Structure 1
Amino acid sequence: MFQEKYDVIVVGAGHAGSEAAAAAANMGCSTLLVTMNLQNIAQMSCNPAMGGIAKGQIVREIDALGGYSGLVSDTSAIQFKMLNKSKGPAMWSPRVQSDRMMFAEHWRLRLEATANLDFYQEMVSGLIIEGDKVVGVKTSLGIEIKAKSVILTNGTFLNGLIHIGEKQFGGGRAGERAATGITEELVQLGFEAGRMKTGTPPRVDGRSLDYSKMTEQPGDDVPAKFSYLDETKPLTKQRSCYMSYTSPEVHNLLKEGFDRSPMFNGRIKSIGPRYCPSIEDKINRFADKDRHQLFIEPEGWNTVEMYINGFSTSLPEDVQFKALRSVAGFENVKFFRPGYAIEYDYFPPTQLKHTLETKLVNGLYFAGQINGTTGYEEAGSQGLMAGINAALKVQEKEEFILQRSEAYIGVLIDDLITKGTEEPYRMFTSRAEYRTLLRQDNADFRLTKKSFDIGLASEKRLRKMEEKKSKSYAFVEFLKETSVAPEEANVVLEENNSAPMKQSDKIFKVFSRPNIDMQNIRTFSGVDEYIQENDLNEEVLEQTEIQVKYSGYIEKEKNNADKLHRLEGIKIPNDFDYSRIKSMSYEAREKLKKVKPTSVSQASRISGVSPNDISVLLVYMGR
Structure 2
Amino acid sequence: MHETYDVIVVGAGHAGCEAAHAAATMGSKVLLITMNMQTIAQMSCNPAMGGVAKGQIVREVDALGGMSGIISDKSMIQFRMLNRSKGPAMWSPRCQSDRNMFANEWRLALEHNANVDFWQDTVSQLLVKHNRVHGVRTDMGLEFKAKAVVLTNGTFLNGRIFIGEKIFGGGRTAERATTGLTEQLVEIGFEAGRMKTGTPPRIDGRSLDYSRMEEQPGDENPGKFSYSTTKPLSTQRSCWITYTNSDVHETLKEGFEKSPMFTGRIKGLGPRYCPSIEDKINRFADKDRHQIFVEPEGWETVEVYVNGFSTSLPEDVQLRALRKIQGFEQAKMFRPGYAVEYDFFPPTQLKHTLETHLVENLFFAGQINGTTGYEEAACQGLIAGINAHQNAHEKDSFTISRSEGYIGVLIDDLITKGTEEPYRMFTSRAEYRTLLRQDNADLRLTERGHTIGLASDSRLQDVQKKKQTIADLMDNIRVTKVKPEEINSWLGDLNSAQLREKSSLYGLIKRPEIGLTEVDYLLQFLPEYEPEVNTETIEQAVIEIKYEDYLNRERTNAEKISKWENLEITADFDYDRLKALSFEGRDKLKKQRPATIGQASRISGVSPSDISILLVYLGR
For normalisation by structure 2, the TM-score amounts to: 0.98
Question: What is aligned with 1:245?
Answer: 243
Letter in 2 for 1:359: H
Partner Cα separation in structure 1 for residue 493 and residue 449 of structure 2: 45
**Match of 1:95, SS?**
strand
Summarize deviations over 1:240-272 as a string: whole Å, max 9, x none: 001111111111111111110000001001100
**Match of 1:265, SS?**
coil
Partner Cα separation in structure 2 for residue 566 and residue 527 of structure 1: 43
Question: What is aligned with 2:11?
Answer: 12
Q: Does 1:560 align with 2:560?
A: no
Match of 1:601 among 574, 598, 607: 598
- Residues 451, 457 of structure 1: 8 Å contact kept: yes
**Match of 1:195, SS?**
strand
Question: What is aligned with 2:204?
Answer: 205
Question: What is aligned with 1:548?
Answer: 545
**Match of 1:436, SS?**
coil
Letter in 2 for 1:203: R
- Residues 482, 525 of structure 2: 8 Å contact kept: no
Shift in Å at residue 620 of structure 1?
2.4
Shift in Å at residue 405 of structure 1?
0.3
- Larger mean CA deviation between 478-487 and 391-400 belongs to 478-487
Question: What is aligned with 1:290?
Answer: 288
Question: What is aligned with 1:347?
Answer: 345
Question: What is aligned with 2:269?
Answer: 271
- Residues 490, 500 of structure 1: 8 Å contact kept: yes
- Residues 493, 516 of structure 1: 8 Å contact kept: no
Partner Cα separation in structure 2 for residue 79 and residue 158 of structure 1: 34
Question: What is aligned with 2:506?
Answer: 508
**Match of 1:188, SS?**
helix
Shift in Å at residue 27 of structure 1?
0.1
Partner Cα separation in structure 1 for residue 286 and residue 401 of structure 2: 41
Shift in Å at residue 524 of structure 1?
4.6
Partner Cα separation in structure 2 for residue 20 and residue 268 of structure 1: 31
Gap change, CA 1:93 and 1:518, over 3 Å in 2: closer
Shift in Å at residue 526 of structure 1?
5.8
- After TM superposition, list the pairs within 5 Å mapping 1:222-261 onto structure 2: 222-230=221-229, 232-261=230-259
Partner Cα separation in structure 1 for residue 307 and residue 204 of structure 2: 14
Q: Does 1:622 align with 2:592?
A: no
Letter in 1 for 2:553: K
- Residues 159, 170 of structure 2: 8 Å contact kept: yes
Shift in Å at residue 517 of structure 1?
3.5
Summarize deviations over 1:344-393 as a string: whole Å, max 9, x none: 01000000000000000011000000000000000000000000011111
Question: What is aligned with 2:35?
Answer: 36
Letter in 2 for 1:186: L
Shift in Å at residue 521 of structure 1?
4.4
Question: What is aligned with 1:65?
Answer: 64
**Equivalent residues, number:** 620
Partner Cα separation in structure 2 for residue 530 and residue 511 of structure 1: 18
Question: What is aligned with 2:185?
Answer: 186
Partner Cα separation in structure 2 for residue 490 and residue 552 of structure 1: 26
Letter in 2 for 1:44: M
Partner Cα separation in structure 1 for residue 175 and residue 372 of structure 2: 19
- Residues 67, 384 of structure 1: 8 Å contact kept: yes
Gap change, CA 1:619 and 1:306, over 3 Å in 2: same
- Residues 201, 338 of structure 1: 8 Å contact kept: yes
Partner Cα separation in structure 2 for residue 363 and residue 77 of structure 1: 36
- Residues 203, 338 of structure 1: 8 Å contact kept: yes
Letter in 2 for 1:66: G
Gap change, CA 1:525 and 1:608, over 3 Å in 2: closer
Letter in 2 for 1:4: E
Letter in 2 for 1:537: N
Partner Cα separation in structure 1 for residue 409 and residue 300 of structure 2: 38
Partner Cα separation in structure 1 for residue 243 and residue 521 of structure 2: 46
Question: What is aligned with 2:141?
Answer: 142
Gap change, CA 1:172 and 1:524, over 3 Å in 2: closer
- Residues 161, 170 of structure 2: 8 Å contact kept: yes
Partner Cα separation in structure 2 for residue 565 and residue 210 of structure 1: 56
Partner Cα separation in structure 2 for residue 120 and residue 616 of structure 1: 51
**Match of 1:574, SS?**
coil
Partner Cα separation in structure 2 for residue 288 and residue 250 of structure 1: 14
Q: Which runs of 5+ in 2 are unaligned?
A: none
Question: What is aligned with 1:372?
Answer: 370
Question: What is aligned with 2:536?
Answer: 539
Q: Does 1:171 align with 2:170?
A: yes
Question: What is aligned with 1:389?
Answer: 387
Q: Does 1:22 align with 2:15?
A: no
Question: What is aligned with 1:75?
Answer: 74
Question: What is aligned with 2:581?
Answer: 584
**Match of 2:282, SS?**
helix
- Residues 251, 317 of structure 2: 8 Å contact kept: yes
Partner Cα separation in structure 1 for residue 242 and residue 505 of structure 2: 47
Question: What is aligned with 1:573?
Answer: 570
Letter in 2 for 1:79: Q
Letter in 1 for 2:404: E
Letter in 1 for 2:611: I
- After TM superposition, list the pairs within 5 Å mapping 1:126-137 onto structure 2: 126-137=125-136
- Residues 480, 526 of structure 2: 8 Å contact kept: no
- Residues 492, 520 of structure 1: 8 Å contact kept: no
- Residues 64, 443 of structure 1: 8 Å contact kept: yes
Partner Cα separation in structure 2 for residue 519 and residue 203 of structure 1: 40
Match of 1:429 among 424, 427, 430: 427
Partner Cα separation in structure 1 for residue 431 and residue 310 of structure 2: 31
- Residues 523, 529 of structure 2: 8 Å contact kept: no
Shift in Å at residue 531 of structure 1?
2.6
Question: What is aligned with 1:98?
Answer: 97
Match of 2:322 among 321, 324, 339: 324
Q: Does 1:460 align with 2:472?
A: no
Shift in Å at residue 581 of structure 1?
2.4
- Larger mean CA deviation between 497-506 and 374-383 belongs to 497-506
Partner Cα separation in structure 2 for residue 449 and residue 525 of structure 1: 30
Partner Cα separation in structure 2 for residue 201 and residue 370 of structure 1: 22
Runs of 4+ residues over 6 Å off in structure 1: none
Q: Which runs of 5+ in 1 are unaligned?
A: none
Match of 1:302 among 300, 303, 315: 300
Partner Cα separation in structure 2 for residue 384 and residue 157 of structure 1: 20
- Residues 476, 526 of structure 2: 8 Å contact kept: no
- Larger mean CA deviation between 417-426 and 388-397 belongs to 388-397
Q: Supply the RMSD in Å over aligned alpha carbons.
A: 1.2
**Match of 1:491, SS?**
helix
For normalisation by structure 1, the TM-score amounts to: 0.98
- Larger mean CA deviation between 282-291 and 565-574 belongs to 565-574
Summarize deviations over 1:302-355 as a string: whole Å, max 9, x none: 110000000000011111111111111111110000000000010000000000
Aligned-residue sequence identity (percent) comes to 65
Partner Cα separation in structure 2 for residue 241 and residue 354 of structure 1: 39
Question: What is aligned with 1:162?
Answer: 161
Partner Cα separation in structure 2 for residue 619 and residue 61 of structure 1: 37
**Match of 2:88, SS?**
coil
Shift in Å at residue 492 of structure 1?
2.4
- Residues 243, 325 of structure 2: 8 Å contact kept: yes
**Match of 1:357, SS?**
coil
- Larger mean CA deviation between 542-551 and 346-355 belongs to 542-551
Partner Cα separation in structure 2 for residue 194 and residue 532 of structure 1: 57
Summarize deviations over 1:184-238 as a string: whole Å, max 9, x none: 11111111111100000000000111111111111001100000011x1111110
Partner Cα separation in structure 1 for residue 500 and residue 377 of structure 2: 55
Partner Cα separation in structure 1 for residue 40 and residue 566 of structure 2: 40
- Residues 484, 524 of structure 1: 8 Å contact kept: no
Partner Cα separation in structure 2 for residue 377 and residue 521 of structure 1: 33
**Match of 2:90, SS?**
coil
Summarize deviations over 1:560-583 as a string: whole Å, max 9, x none: 110121012211111222223232
Question: What is aligned with 2:47?
Answer: 48
Letter in 1 for 2:606: V
